[in-house]
Structure 1
Amino acid sequence: MRFASRIILALILVLSLGLMVFSSLRESAIMDELAHIPAGYSYLNSLDYHLNPEHPPLVKMAAGLPLLFLNLNFPTDTPAWSEKVNGQWDVGYEFLYQSGNDADQIIQWARTGPMVLTLILIIFVYIWSKELMGEWWALLPSVGVALSPHFLAHGHYVTTDIGAALGIVISIYYFNRYLISPNKKSLIIAGIAFGIAQLTKFSALILIGHMLLMAIIYALIRFNKSQHEFKHAFALVFTYLRRLFLIFIIGVLVIYPLYAIGSINYSPEKQLSDTQAIIGTDFENPPLSYLADATVWLSDKPILRPYAQYSLGMLMVLKRANWGNTLYFMGLFKRTPTLREYLDTNLHEFSAMLFVSIYVLYSLTSPLNIGLRHLIPILPLIYILATGVLRKHAQKDEYKKQLRSAMVVFLFVWQGAIALTAFPHYLPYFNDLVGTDNGWRYATDSNYDWGQDLKRLATFVEENNIQKIGVNYFGGGYPPYYMGDKAVPWYSNFGNPLESGIEWMAISVNELQNSIAPTAPGFTRDIESEYRWLKNPTSPDFRVGESIFVYKLSD
């Protein structure tokens, strides 16, 4: 039985990898990859961390590692690298498209890193689920991750979301194991897992609030109410918090080596000037002003500089988001015998639900909430929890057990069918009702159009023998690289390109929606920017992939 379930898991992994690879091969670079790929490569090749400091390095380094085995030209002799403060976008264009490199080769090899992390996430979801519900039921949440169009999309891009999901899942799992078996070994492993999570994405800082809350709750239900309640409770809480502090210290030590690699050739003088320029005057009020001042002070100090770079990235995230809601749940739980009994047998479940609740609350109240990908870190936990509910329901009534199990199998097959029918357009897939064709009406950017279809546009231009086409493109690709001088940069305020002898126009749907969708309160838009010279902007003559609308302007 164990062998059979592992064979099925292996097949799931192979299918997931195959779908990601063959989807990736058809796609151009998405917007964020333009910054992340050169950053990851520069950390390892140039040992310099000054590009893209607003994200931790682990995923980017995983993407950059395969590139070390290629003979690449990296533009370290240009102002974008040597003079600009975080000139990540310019360096990205120069590295991929203007340095004599094969851009598609770089993009595809860089994506192997995130794909490997996705496979590790699937395996880890299976391992955790197997402990909770057995090896066969564990396959269901594994399929949920492996064949979800959202994971198949973001799992093959060089972005931090899948890495964050992996880091958070691992950290919660090993912290739970420490609470269940508090010994030196489990404490060290929990600390290492926490550190790994912090190297994936700064949203993993939410783990601090989650772990504090879990430690306090778990401590309060451990003591006997008949004893000297307050004194004993305080002592027990203090013990758990002291151990949690050790976990955090281990995590901080784990962070250091990867940041230290990127500081070897990043001069203290440039790190100091870059840090001062990035922080500017954005953090003038306490308590963040103290962190900003400490970051600047550390940025040119030997040994301590790697922590300054981590702190700088955290501050850059804090510019855009509010982290003050993490401890909201501190007052929502009281110690009860029922809770104690529940946690004795369902600690993993409770911990997962608590983190999902905190993360969702934070996401709903954060000003930085730009799409589903920001919820990816909690989706594996939701799949595990949902499968646990299905399992309990299926086994509750022996008479209906077979029917309910058949329904679970149906869900299993349904998920696989969705993955196959959505192929290869996983990013624009919304759900069974919206599908892939109409999602742009509701949300764009990383939810639908991230620039993934530029290579398809080049194929369309070639197959239709188009000599000139106006292009308003959003993404990490570079139209002249794929289409040469056939691609003419064109925007609404340029007027109708037909008047300049250009009979075709291609517009990324993200750019189109920015031009024609109703504006939010307080925002205005020039009439010249609304493509009023197009007869019907939302009904193109052709669609390339899902995200580029093409119009034939001449009759």
Structure 2
Amino acid sequence: MIATASQPNLTLSAIRHKIPVYSWLALFLAMGLLGYASFQIQATSSITFDETFYLNAGVRTVASGTLDPAICDCGVAPLPIIICYLPPLLLSRNEYRHEVWVGQNDDPQLIIWPRRLNTLLVGMPLLIVIWLWLGRKCGPAGASLGVLMTATSPTIQAHAALATTDLSFALFGLLGILALAHYLERPTWVRLGILAIAMAACLSAKYSGVFLFPVAGLMFLGRALRDQNVTKKKLTPTNETSTEKSVESASVSQLSQGWWPVVRQTFVTYTLLLLLVIPLWWAFHGFSFTGPLKNVPLEVTPPDSPWVEMLGRGPWADWIMDQAHRRWKRPAPIAGVLFQYLHNKSGHTAFLMGETSLTGWRTYFPCTIGFKSTPSELILIALLLFGTISLRLAGCISWSKLDFSRRCLWLSLAVLAALLLFARINIGHRYVLILYPLFIMLGIDTIFMIYRNYIDRFPNTNGTSKAHWPRIIFTLSTSLLLAMQFWSSWSIQPHALSYFNGLCGGPEQGGRLLLDSNIDWGQDLPTLQQLLSSEDSSKVALQYFGTALPTAYGIEADPTKALRQPLEDYELLAISVTHLGGLYVFGNDPYQKFRTWQPDARAGYSINLYRLDTPERKAAFAQAIQEHEKARTQSLLKQ
């Protein structure tokens, strides 16, 4: 007997009758754990780099009454801001903010409710979706294991606590994948409409949602090929069929074997989907514009402009570019996608294990997964890959035996992995956040397939399965996996954003491996304030990576770009690990000398504190400041 990929596959309407109480309790426990962890993180985290932008853009949107053009002009999809920021901001009165990347003193109060809404409206629904899917495919035990694994993942906890776009993309991306499978199971107009709404929401949560287009196209093609094969079988004549009917059926079968029916069905379905998705996508942007379709006049268009690359030069091309600047407006989604395209084309300064690059590395995201996944998640990923290969070689599963939801999840995983490998923006583990629900869902699904296949290979003499010992081993193994996940979550709280597993040295060594939002997003000002409460603030220098105002969190230290005392008077240097690693800081790695010393204290894992109590350290500090000033002066002269 072969363990197929379709069992137990409960229907949604039967879940509340089929799933026992313990699985419901697991769901509620998972939601409670995620809520508690999020509350702990929110209470100890300052507003992060990107949250400042989202908050300011939300304030500007409420003040102006229209979607702030800066949102899409900076490549940010608006749906997370609409969901998490606009409701609380509509209830408060805030003046229009002219700078979107500069924090304000009231930000600590204004960010509270957007973060809570992100936990409630994004984090909790993500748990429910995973629980429902695993309940259908693996039963109550799989649903319980999956939802608890997700809720105790430091990666999920960190981004459920912060009001950013990454977890929203994971939720709406997953909903888009499952909506695609829902349509493919039984294509109807209603299901196509649901799919279009889900895809538009995903694209409006993050423009990386374009991954759904190739996934949908390939799945439509596969569905068309399957339909053609079904038609062939129906048209195959039986032995009792007359010769005349056999000839007629054979001719019809030959026609159906052509490529045209498949291409036609795929093209028509895909075109209908696009015609629905594009206006819905724009609707999520409030049908807004962000300015002229082409930013600069024709006369100053550079030769390497995307317009010139697409249209070339000539009378018609020049007329189109002229009209695009003077008359045609740019829809907000186009502005966002264009920004992301140009950003990815030009690259972004990235850091990996002591090296920097403008265009990134193929190994960057695999490394972030290896460094920042918990041991349980790494085991689950390994079981997913090697378990699937083993089941395939044993003939237990095949692509044709998988249902549409599994196919869509696997294909989405492959497409996302390919896009990430070739991405030139390598600035954060958060870009792979959407992979974690896929890892957990497909990984647990694979474990249960292996379990069923193992039991089926050991029948008793009376034909029944020997389920006793395999069940005990399976229960102990999954319990150990879950216990390890609980430990990983508990050990890092409330600094889940800076999590690195012990295999790579833990969060203490994380700054040597990855920087930016992987460990330091400007989140540890409250912890720094506690450490500095007993210090003379006039003798503390602060090199901070972030957009929050330190004074908003009670920190009166002097920023290194505006020191008010002679250099020799400073007794303490607080420096963000991103700048400590030489990233996004004026000068040629000015603080490299400090990396050779152990910090005297740490604010979380993102800010190191060094006592300037030796001549060597004072000299290193003075040299760093001189390097700063020299590089800053050169930068101003270039401008």
TM-score normalised by length of structure 1: 0.82
Aligned equivalents of 2:450 and 2:222: distance in 1?
28
Q: 2:476 aligns with which of 385, 402, 406?
A: 406
**Distance 1:512-1:164 versus aligned 2 partners, 3 A rule:** same
Structure 2 residue aligned with 1:164: 169
Q: How far does residue 378 in structure 1 lie from its aligned partner after superposition?
A: 1.9
Structure 1 residue aligned with 2:406: 349
Aligned equivalents of 2:220 and 2:202: distance in 1?
18
Does the aligned pair in 2 maintain the 1:394–1:405 contact within 8 Å?
no
Structure 2 residue aligned with 1:328: none
Structure 1 residue aligned with 2:606: 547
Q: How far does residue 459 in structure 1 lie from its aligned partner after superposition?
A: 1.9
Q: Does residue 23 of structure 1 match 2:41?
A: yes
Does the aligned pair in 2 maintain the 1:515–1:530 contact within 8 Å?
no
Aligned equivalents of 1:293 and 1:110: distance in 2?
46
**Distance 1:361-1:254 versus aligned 2 partners, 3 A rule:** same
Aligned equivalents of 1:257 and 1:52: distance in 2?
15
Within-5 A mapping of 1:329-368: 342-368=399-425
Aligned equivalents of 2:584 and 2:57: distance in 1?
34
**Distance 1:280-1:30 versus aligned 2 partners, 3 A rule:** farther
SS of residue paired to 1:260: coil
**Distance 1:427-1:15 versus aligned 2 partners, 3 A rule:** same
Structure 2 residue aligned with 1:140: 145
Aligned equivalents of 2:141 and 2:319: distance in 1?
53
Q: 2:525 aligns with which of 445, 454, 470?
A: 454
Q: Does residue 244 of structure 1 match 2:270?
A: yes
Within-5 A mapping of 1:3-22: 3-22=21-40
**Distance 1:479-1:526 versus aligned 2 partners, 3 A rule:** same
Does the aligned pair in 1 maintain the 2:59–2:94 contact within 8 Å?
no
Aligned equivalents of 1:254 and 1:67: distance in 2?
25
Aligned equivalents of 1:254 and 1:378: distance in 2?
25
**Distance 1:339-1:233 versus aligned 2 partners, 3 A rule:** farther
Q: How far does residue 530 in structure 1 lie from its aligned partner after superposition?
A: 3.6
Q: Does residue 218 of structure 1 match 2:223?
A: yes
Does the aligned pair in 1 maintain the 2:26–2:147 contact within 8 Å?
no
Aligned equivalents of 1:288 and 1:177: distance in 2?
40
Q: How far does residue 451 in structure 1 lie from its aligned partner after superposition?
A: 0.6
Aligned equivalents of 1:231 and 1:284: distance in 2?
42
Code of the residue aligned with 2:578 in structure 1: it is N
Structure 1 residue aligned with 2:291: 271
Structure 1 or 2, whichever has the larger Rg, is 2
**Distance 1:138-1:185 versus aligned 2 partners, 3 A rule:** same
Aligned equivalents of 1:247 and 1:412: distance in 2?
40
Aligned equivalents of 2:584 and 2:79: distance in 1?
39
**Distance 1:69-1:285 versus aligned 2 partners, 3 A rule:** closer
**Distance 1:455-1:429 versus aligned 2 partners, 3 A rule:** same
Structure 1 residue aligned with 2:342: 319
**Distance 1:258-1:350 versus aligned 2 partners, 3 A rule:** closer
Structure 2 residue aligned with 1:65: 86
The answer for unaligned runs of 5 or more in structure 2 is: 1-18, 237-252, 347-361, 363-394, 456-466, 615-639
Q: Does residue 310 of structure 1 match 2:330?
A: no
Q: 1:474 aligns with which of 535, 539, 545?
A: 545
Aligned equivalents of 1:206 and 1:291: distance in 2?
30
Q: Does residue 50 of structure 1 match 2:73?
A: no
Q: Does residue 423 of structure 1 match 2:493?
A: yes
Does the aligned pair in 1 maintain the 2:131–2:146 contact within 8 Å?
yes
Structure 2 residue aligned with 1:520: none
Does the aligned pair in 2 maintain the 1:59–1:163 contact within 8 Å?
yes
Does the aligned pair in 2 maintain the 1:36–1:60 contact within 8 Å?
yes
Within-5 A mapping of 1:247-262: 247-260=273-286
Structure 2 residue aligned with 1:393: 450
Does the aligned pair in 2 maintain the 1:275–1:296 contact within 8 Å?
no
Q: How far does residue 241 in structure 1 lie from its aligned partner after superposition?
A: 3.0
Does the aligned pair in 2 maintain the 1:128–1:173 contact within 8 Å?
no
Structure 1 residue aligned with 2:506: 435
The answer for unaligned runs of 5 or more in structure 1 is: 82-86, 326-337, 518-523
Code of the residue aligned with 1:198 in structure 2: it is L
**Distance 1:209-1:383 versus aligned 2 partners, 3 A rule:** same
Note the alpha carbon deviations across 1:339-377, whole angstroms, 9 max, x for none: 997435432222211111111111111211223211111
TM-score normalised by length of structure 2: 0.72
Does the aligned pair in 2 maintain the 1:321–1:366 contact within 8 Å?
yes
Note the alpha carbon deviations across 1:211-260, whole angstroms, 9 max, x for none: 11111122223323672266554213422331232222222232233322
**Distance 1:273-1:287 versus aligned 2 partners, 3 A rule:** closer
Q: How far does residue 502 in structure 1 lie from its aligned partner after superposition?
A: 1.6
Aligned identity (percent) is 23
**Distance 1:293-1:157 versus aligned 2 partners, 3 A rule:** farther
Q: 1:487 aligns with which of 547, 554, 557?
A: 557
Structure 2 residue aligned with 1:113: 117
Does the aligned pair in 1 maintain the 2:558–2:564 contact within 8 Å?
no
Code of the residue aligned with 1:88 in structure 2: it is V
Note the alpha carbon deviations across 1:282-313, whole angstroms, 9 max, x for none: 42444388999989967997xx96x7111011
Note the alpha carbon deviations across 1:450-495, whole angstroms, 9 max, x for none: 11111211221113454431010001211233346x311116xx99
**Distance 1:340-1:382 versus aligned 2 partners, 3 A rule:** closer
Note the alpha carbon deviations across 1:95-124, whole angstroms, 9 max, x for none: x33xxxx32111222212322212111111
Code of the residue aligned with 1:314 in structure 2: it is V
Code of the residue aligned with 2:47 in structure 1: it is A
